[in-house]
A = this chain, B = another copy of it.
Amino acid sequence: MYEQLKLDNQVCFRLYTASRLVTQAYRPLLEPLGLTYPQYIVLLALWEKDNQLVGELGQRLMLDTNTLTPILQRMERNGLIVRTRGIADGRQTLVSLTRDGVHLEERAKDIPACLTRTWQGEPMPNEQIAGFIGMLDSMINNLKK
């Protein structure tokens, strides 16, 4: 068989697998908060800056509205956000945190450290982490449209 088609030579397969396993690792931490991972990153974006348009959120999270809208609908149903139509421009939808959505930040604050411990095992040198992040950022940069 072609050497380049072997699974062990595939960077992308590792990326795909690592991403899935990380999302699985989030599950037990997010479930008590009633969140999925995509819902969690929507909240991360909103905790940084409340009252964002669907399009702004989409740019920040690199998700299109066909993915984002259903997530936002569930989050609204669960009382974490509200969506307000047409303030200046009637086409836009503004996404805002409810009191519940705001309060969840406090309960989420230890999740990042916990997850880092899980995937890192033994703490790694910062330089190595920085190299990893740099590679991911460069990949994302090369792939985004």
Q: Which residues of A contact B (CB under 8 A)?
A: 1-2, 4-7, 9-26, 37, 41, 44-45, 47-48, 60-62, 105, 108-109, 112-113, 115-116, 118-121, 128-129, 131-133, 135-144
Contacts and interface: CB of A to CB of B under 8 A. Distances in A.
Given A18-B143, A119-B142, A131-B132, 19 more contacts: A4-B109, A5-B105, A5-B112, A9-B112, A11-B116, A11-B132, A11-B133, A14-B136, A15-B15, A15-B18, A15-B19, A15-B22, A16-B22, A16-B37, A19-B19, A22-B139, A128-B131, A132-B132, A132-B135
A7 B44 contact: yes
Contacts of A109: 2, 4-5
* This chain's copy number in the assembly: 2
A6 B48 contact: yes
Given A48-B6, A135-B132, A143 B12 contact: no
A62 B108 contact: no
Given A22-B15, A115-B12, A7 B128 contact: no
Contacts of A9: 112
B133 A14 contact: yes
A67 to B, nearest CB: 9
Nearest to A23: B16
Contact of A10 (B44, B120, B142, B144): B44
Nearest to A109: B2
